[in-house]
Every structure is written in C-alpha cells, then in structure tokens.
Structure 1
Amino acid sequence: MTAQIAAQPSATMATPPAVAEGELPVGARTVARTLRRSSLPPAAVSGVALLLDAAALGLGLWFAADLSGRGDDAPARAALLAVLGALGGTFALWAWGLYRLRVLRRFWSGAAPLLALGVALAALDGHGWWALAPVLPLLPARGLGALLAATALDYGLTERRAIILGGGDRAERVITTLAESPDNDIRVCGMFDDRDDLRSPPVVAGVPKLGRLEVLLPFARSAEIDLLIVTIPLSAEQRIRQILKLVEVLPVDVRLSDFSADPTFRRRGPFEGLGASGGLVSVMSRPIRGGKLAAKRAMDLLGAAVALLLLSPVLLLTALAVRLESPGPIFFRQLRYGYNQRPVLMWKFRSLRAESCDPLARRVVTRGDPRVTRVGRVIRRWSIDELPQLFNVLAGELSLVGPRPHVPGAVSSRQESFEAIVDGYAARHKVRPGITGWAQINGWRGEIDDPESLRRRVEHDLYYIENWSIWFDLYVLLLTPLRLLGGKGAY
C-alpha cells in the first residue's frame, strides 16, 4: 500500500512555533546536555551474549566429537557439524526468548534447560557422559552473558528515556508506578505542559517540568528521547490527535497512559502495564528498532566495507581525474540533515569548480550548469561523486539505503521550501538517511523542479519507512546499479 501525503493542517491545529535548540529554557537545556549520548541498544548486549554462547557451544560440540572418537576419521566434517550445531542451538535459544535481557540476567533460566538437555542426551546415548560436553562450555558463557545483562540493566545502560506530556496527578501515577516496577527500563527525564504552575506543579514525583509544548520537539531531538507518554485527559481526544500530528516527525515511541473510548487509540493493544487501573497504550512506534536496527547496522557496516574494497580502483581513478581536471581539493563536504534532523557533513568527490563549491547547497544544480566540471558531469551522471559517502556509512551517519538527506532549509528550483510544499516532510528523518533509496531507484532524483516531484519523493520515502525490511534494503541495493548509474535526473 502506497503511503499517502498528509493533508495540510487545519486551522484548529494550533501548532506551536518552532524553538531552536539553543533557545531551550535553561532547565531543559541542562537536562538535554546530560542525555546527549545515546543509550545502549538491548540488542547489542543480547548479540554479544549470543556470540559467546555460539562460540562455547561450537567448542563443546567439537570436543564431544573428539571424546566419542567420531571426529577422528573426518575432522573437517566434525568441525562443520560443530559450527552448524552451534548456530542451530543458539537459534533455538533465541527462539525460546532466552536472550531477552530480563531473562538473560537470570543465569539458571538459561542454564537449567541446557543441563536438562545434556542429561537427556547422556541417558539416551550408549557412549556415556561425553554428551554433556557440548553443554559444559555453555555454563561459563551463560554466566558471562548474565553478568553483561545485569550490568546493562542495573546501571541503566539500556534504559529508554521518556518524557511526559501533561502533569499533575495523571503524570504522578505513571511516574510512581514505573518506579515501583522491578522490570522497568523507562527513565522519565522531564515533563512538558502548557498549563501554569498552579494547575500543573513544576515538580511531580521528583520529575521537573521543563517547558511548554513548543519546547518538546527540540528537547526530544537534542536529548535522544526514546519514548513520549501522553497523560492529558483522554476525553480531550481532538487535542491528542493534534499532538500526535505534531510529534509524528520524531523517531520516538508514543504511548497513551490510559485506555480510550476511541478504538483507533488502541489499535496496537496495551504496552507496558501500569497496574489494574490502566496501562500504556501504543499509538505510534519507531519504524526500525531493537534487533531490526542492529541487523540493519550490521548490513551497513559489512556492505560499506565490501563496497570500499571492491570499488577502490574506481575511487582512486576518480580522485586522480578530479585532481588533474581542475585546481582545488578532491573532496568536499556538504551539510545535510540526517537522522532526527541532526546535521551531517557528507563526503563527496568535488564535481563543481573550486570557486563555485556550495557546501550549503544554496543554489540547486540544474541541467547544463556552468559550475559543473567536465569530470564532474561524468561522475554526477554515474553517481560516482556519491561513493565517498561510504565513509559516512561506516561512521554511522548514513545508511546504505534510506531517504536521501536534504540540505538545511532545502528549496526547490522554484525557491519553495520543502516543508511548505509537503506537510509532514520532516517525517523522513525518523530513520537514518541513505546513499540510495526507494525514491531514487524509482526515478525521483536530481532537480526538484515542481511540487509534484517532491511529493512523489516523500511518498516513496514514507512507503520505505513504513514497509522496511532487510529484504527491502537488499532489493533496493540490487536495483541501484541498474536504475541509478547513468540514469536521468543527475546533472
């Protein structure tokens, strides 16, 4: 299903004016600075534990084959079976949910099934207790995994940072109930409320009020917020809809602190429980999260490293051509907006004359642009000028596949701002931008010469975000050389 471009906001939306990060209230700015470093993804800790278990299980299987004498005749076959068994065993543990951090930290929850399996194998096998050999190395591995999980949870390394919209008694109920939950990983960092201090106290259950609604977006971006909890009365459903419209550009999960009479507010069902009297209901979630995010990052790192190795001759020849064709640097860096609207300096081969380079892209490159060099025209046509962005991928600033990043204050060739052309345009920043993307391989690249071009680009970008999968990324990467290299739209 194709994503639809959102309609223009209604007159009743009452969208608050934008506030720059530097204009945040002192309290909000101070809190944001203490939270700038992202929390550790739980999938990273689980992944390390899984690798430890896989190595231990593989070693144990190989050792068991050696003890039983079955690996003497075909050591290579025994090693292969040990690897396959290790992969199959750890996959089974993952399928049973034994790598969730709350489970992983409890040593015996993972070790007991392993010991039971080993005893069963030993009882059924006539060769004796060698069957326990695959299990024994797993015990110290599971112990180390439990230690890693406990450290990550106890020191808040994997906590989800939350802010509350709304104050008073409703906010206090959420804060205190979360604090009393032994398995809670949500840390409430602040509250935002348009009401004055008489109606909404400046501090609730030890959590400060950091500002009004117009401060929420810049604070959430600056402080790496993961979760927004809305605690305003659910009878004000029109107001909630307006708020959801406002925050849809943020890469955060949005939860309501109670159930609503409107069925669209609980289409995803309850999320974290808050006791019998209510719960947190999911109404908006980040498109790529947890293990999916880790898998996408792993593919980015592997793909960028392999691409740089294979394309190194092209990179070297291009650098030489740029240097010989016109005076000036080989590379230049251009400021773009990345994930969560953070600034990113993107690397490119220089394709314009040195005196005409435009790091802020104030002037759009058009067909026959005299600023483009002869070499620049070739490398832009074949998208070779974008290849240095593979280093941005390794640095974690870009992804191989995603919406193409645009410059701050981007305008069309008719000097119309992108935000003015398409409502909800900033929702493209909910995922890391990419070197290539769904819009680009469908022909929407190059000059923005009319509003419909931008609308179609954003439509394709939102479709990609809403339907992301590893297979979707692989499909886009496979088609990129066929659709982009030498394709239309690149000047």
Structure 2
Amino acid sequence: MILKIKKYSELIRPLIILFDLLIINIIIFFLSDREHWNLQFILYITLFWLSIAFYTKFYNVYRYTHVLKLITLLFSQFFVFLLAFFAYYTIFEEGVIVSKQSNVVFSFMATITSFKFFFFFLLKKYRLKGNNYRNVVVFGESKSAQNVATLFLKRQDLGYRFCGFFSDKQSSSKNFLGSIKDGLEYTKKETIDEVYCEVNSVSSLKLKEIRRFCNENKIEFSLIPENKAIYSKDFILEHYGTIPVLKLKQLPFERIETHILKRSFDVLFSLFVCVFLLSWLLPILWVIVKVNSKGEFFFKQKRDGINGEQFYCYKIRSMEENYLSDLVSASKNDDRITSVGMFLRKSSLDELPQFFNVLIGNMSVVGPRPHMNIQTEKYLKEIDNYLIRNSVKPGITGLAQVSGYRGEVKKKSDIENRVRLDIFYIENWSFFLDLKIISQTVLNVFKGQESAY
C-alpha cells in the first residue's frame, strides 16, 4: 500500500508570485522617491510584471526543469520588464531623472534572482529527503522505459517516487508489477499522480485506453517516445536530463494566470453592466413584469457550478409560477410563458440578473451554460465527457450558444454538440475568444435566434 499524504504543490506557484510582487513593491517603496510610489505606479508595475510573466512563462518551473532553463527565464523576464519599467517614466513622469530608479530596479532583480535560485535548490533538497514527492508508474518494458525508471530511482531530488512498471510482456525485474490491465487497477486503487507510457511497447489501442483512464481520474499522463517518434500537437517535448519525455500540453484553465485574468475581466465587465445598464433597466422591467403577471420578479433555480458545487442561478421570471419549473425546461409555444416573458426570453433580457452571479463568483461572463439539475443527472448517464464542463465556472453565454445550440434539446445530437463545443472552449480558451463570444452574443440579441424561446 502506498502511503497517502496531502500534497501542497499547487500552492507553491501562487506563493512565489505573491512573494515576487511583495519584493518589487517593498524595494520600490523604500529606495525610490516616495512621491512616485502611488496607486497608479503600483497597478502599472503589478500588471506588467504578471503580463510579461504570462508570456515568458516565468513561473513555469517544474521539478524536472534544468538550471540553465531557469537562467533563460530570468533573462527573458527581466529584459522585457526593464523596458516596461522605464517606459513608465517616459509616459507618465517625463523629465524625471531615472538614475535612482536604476538602483531600485537592479536591487529587486538581484533579490528575485537570489530568491528564485534559493527556492529552486531548497525544493530539491526538500525532495531529496523524501518530501513533496509524486507517485509514478511506467507502462512498457523497453530500454527507454527502463531509463526513465532508473532516472526516477537515482534522482531523488526530482521528487518522483517510482512504484513499478506494467507490461503485457512478462519480466523478471523486481519492479515488474503485472500486466497493463493490472496497472490500471493498481493506479486506481493507489494514490498515483503520474503515468508514463513507452509508445513503442504499448499498442495504440492500449494507449488510448490509458489516456482516457488518466483523464477520467485526473492523473497526469506522459509519453516516453522512441527516438524517431512523430510528436502529436497535443504534447510538448521535455527533457529529464538527457531523456526525452512527451507531456500533455497544459490546458489554459490549468494555469493560475488564466483564472486571474478571467476573474478580473468578469468583475470589471459585470460592474460596468450593473452600474450603466441594470441600475435603470431592472426597475423598468420590474414594473412591466409585475403588471403582466402575478409572482416574484426574480426567479432562482439551483444549478451545477464549478466542480459540481450547487448555486442559485438568477433570472427575471418569464413564466407563470408553476410546480414544473424545476422539472421541465421551456419548449416552443410553451403555455407557461407569459407574453412579456416571451419577449424577455427572445431578447435574452431574462438572463441579465446573472451578472450578479458573476459578481458573487459562482458564474463567469463566458463559459458552458449551466443546465437544470434534473437535466444534468440525465446527461451524465448519456453523454461522454459531460462532466468536463464542470471543470470551469458556468457562463451567461458560451461558444455553444452563439453557435446556435441553445434553448430546447429536441434530440441527442443537440446536447452532444453543446458538450463538444463546451469542451473545445475549455481546451482552447483565450481572452480574445471570450471577447469574440461576447460580441457575437450582442449581435445575436439584435438579430434574434430561432432557438431562443
């Protein structure tokens, strides 16, 4: 039985980022002219540091990262940041003598460099003592697979605990634990963090099965290529010393920078909508809805949020109050919909209160649309990979909606296409994709969509 311990590796990067920002601002505060240390300057420096770090991948330092790679990251980050730092004085403080600022910037560069190397080697020493490790297994028995296993056994400072290897070909090695089928059962039963597959000794059918298994159980999956392997676009080539390993590309939502950028945009955009649109439009709609039919103005319903957490999703009531509201979704010519409600649904105005959900933090402006709980239970059983939608916050609008898949689900292909587009969005997110979806949503409001009812 493998010892189960609680790991805090996911906290390392956020803490390092926070520490770097503190170093920068503390040094600037104590060494620069106080009159230049203001909110505008703090926001400028913080924003540019994080933006540059995002594009230089400054914080993408892993347990297998070589020290030369670390030096390259430091050089790239500081070179671009220096330009941004001194550009501030050209744009906002023209004529200010920057000789003193040179001392400031080189002071925090030296401090951050020292800290980065200190923490890099401190972690190695910590892992060398058997802490902060990741349990790994290898599928395959070729020379390449054995080289990786040997590396994990010898380089304890990398923090990998090699548990054994599995292969359909029998082996007399003491690390051999059984067939690939045995390996999947072992991986599921024990706390395995990473799986490595040698492409030359595992069939393509088995590779697909192992990869699907890892995706479902949130286990990191990597390939050990043969020397002349053709690399998939889904993988990036890394080197553990001199050994090549193919690792799955990090998805956008697996990066903390994505969540910071997306949440910042959500808050700013929602505040803008609430202040300049909802502040005067909701009172008008309240009067119209109340005059048209009896009942509450707001309608709330429990929906699945990120990681399946339940939350109340708010809308403007568009139906007569009825006991089927949580059981049956709206259909075309649904007699529960009021005359005003028909307009609200057609124009998507009934969704506006969800900007409050965004401010609270249980929704995003753009993301997979949350379904009724009874629908979620049904689709979980019928649709492959449906649960992947819950890995991000649900949205007011989404790629599936602007692509025509909204409203009533009449046939299985309707929900299959929604899930397909939602997964595409999760795997290919970018800030500009969000802007494109928002723009298309606004256009659709004015053009109208046939499935909006």
**Normalised TM-score (structure 2):** 0.64
Please give the residue correspondences for 1:87-106 in structure 2 after superposition, counting only pairs within 5 Å: none
Report Cα offsets for 1:192-213 as digits up to 9, x if no partner. Answer: 9999xxx9999x9xxxx99937
- SS of the equivalent of 1:465 reads helix
Q: Which amino acid aligns with 2:208?
A: R
1:150-198 deviations in Å (ceiling 9; x for gaps):
7899699xx999664668997997698389464x5x7879999999xxx
Report the CA distance between 1:366 and its aligned residue. Answer: 0.6
Q: How does 1:334-349 map to 2 (within 5 A)?
A: 334-336=302-304, 338-339=305-306, 341-349=307-315
User: 1:382 aligned to 330, 338, 347, which one?
Assistant: 347
| Distance across 1 between alignment mates of 2:135 and 2:362 | 25
Residue number among 464, 475, 479 corresponding to 2:440 in the alignment: 479
SS at match of 1:404: coil
CA–CA separation in structure 2 for the residues paired with 1:298 and 1:161:
33
Counterpart CA distance in 1 for 2:52 and 2:249 is 31
Aligned AA for 1:410? Q
- Correspondences of 1:72-151 after superposition (within 5 Å): 131-136=99-104, 139=107, 143=111
Q: How much has 1:446 moved relative to structure 2?
A: 0.3
Moved more, 279-288 or 464-473: 279-288
Do residues 39 (structure 1) and 4 (structure 2) align? no
1:109-143 per-residue CA deviation (whole Å, 9 max, x = no partner) reads 78xx79xx9xxx9xxxxx9x971344337636974
Say if 2:152 and 2:160, in contact at 8 Å, map to a contact too: no
Task: Report the alpha carbon displacement of residue 328 of structure 1 after superposing the two structures with TM.
Answer: 4.7
Output the amino acid matched with 2:301. R
Paired amino acid for 1:342: G
Letter in 1 for 2:152: T
For the Cα contact (< 8 Å) 2:357–2:363, is it kept in 1?
yes
Tell me: CA distance 1:423–1:91, structure 2 relative to 1, closer, same or farther (3 Å): closer
1:332–1:347 contact (8 Å) kept in structure 2: yes
Give the alignment partner of residue 296 of structure 1, picking from 259, 262, 269.
262
Aligned partner letter, 2:347 = W
CA displacement 1:403-422 (0-9 Å, x = unmatched):
223345638xxx984763x5
Indicate the structure whose relative CO is greater, using CA pairs within 8 Å and at least 6 residues apart. 1
Q: How many residues align?
A: 409
Report whether the alignment pairs 1:469 with 2:430.
Answer: yes
Of the three residues 307, 330, 341, the one matched with 2:298 is 330
TM-score where L is the length of structure 1: 0.60
| Cα distance in 1, alignment partners of residues 418 and 250 from structure 2 | 23
Aligned to 2:185: 212
1:268 counterpart = 2:223: no
Aligned counterparts of 2:134 and 2:372: Cα–Cα separation in 1: 29
List alignment gaps of at least 5 residues for structure 1. Answer: 1-26, 67-75, 122-126
Correspondence for 1:369 among 334, 345, 348: 334
Q: Superposition RMSD on alpha carbons, in Å?
A: 5.7
Contact 1:57 1:134 in 2 (8 A): no
Structure 1 residues 382 and 228: CA distance shift in structure 2, 3 A: farther
Partner secondary structure for residue 212 of structure 1: helix
Task: Choose from 211, 230, 234 the match for 1:244.
Answer: 211
Distance in 2 between residues matched to 1:179 and 1:293, nearest whole Å: 37
What is the percent sequence identity of the aligned residues?
21
Q: Give, in whole Å, the separation in 2 of the partners of 1:174 and 1:374.
A: 68
Map residues 14-29 of structure 1 onto 2, 5 A cutoff. Answer: none
Please give the secondary structure, in 1, of the residue aligned with 2:246.
Answer: strand
Contact 1:54 1:90 in 2 (8 A): no
Find the counterpart in structure 2 of residue 460 from structure 1: 421
The residue type equivalent to 1:488 in the other structure is E
Asked if structure 1 preserves the Cα contact closer than 8 Å seen for 2:404 and 2:451, the reply is: yes
Name the stretch that deviates more: 245-254 or 292-301. Answer: 245-254
CA contact (8 A) 1:249 1:426 kept: no
Give me the whole-angstrom Cα distance separating, in 1, the residues matched to 2:162 and 2:282.
46
CA contact (8 A) 2:152 2:161 kept: no
Query: Cα distance, 1:81 vs. partner?
Result: 10
Seen in structure 2, the aligned counterparts of structure 1 residues 302 and 40 have a Cα distance that, compared at 3 Å, is: farther
Q: Which letter does structure 2 place at the counterpart of 1:435?
A: I
Does the residue aligned with 2:10 lie in a helix, a strand or coil? coil
Distance across 2 between alignment mates of 1:299 and 1:397: 14
Look up the SS of the partner of 1:489 in the other structure. coil
Instruction: Give the Cα separation in 1 of the matches to 2:328 and 2:165.
Output: 39
Name the CA distance, whole Å, in 2 between partners of 1:44 and 1:357.
48
Paired residues of 2:136 and 2:160 also in contact (CA < 8 A): no
Give unmatched runs, 5+ long, in structure 2: 87-94
* SS, match of residue 333 in structure 1: strand
Give the whole-Å Cα distance in 1 for the aligned partners of 2:234 and 2:442. Answer: 40
Residue 177 of structure 1 pairs with residue 179 of structure 2 = no
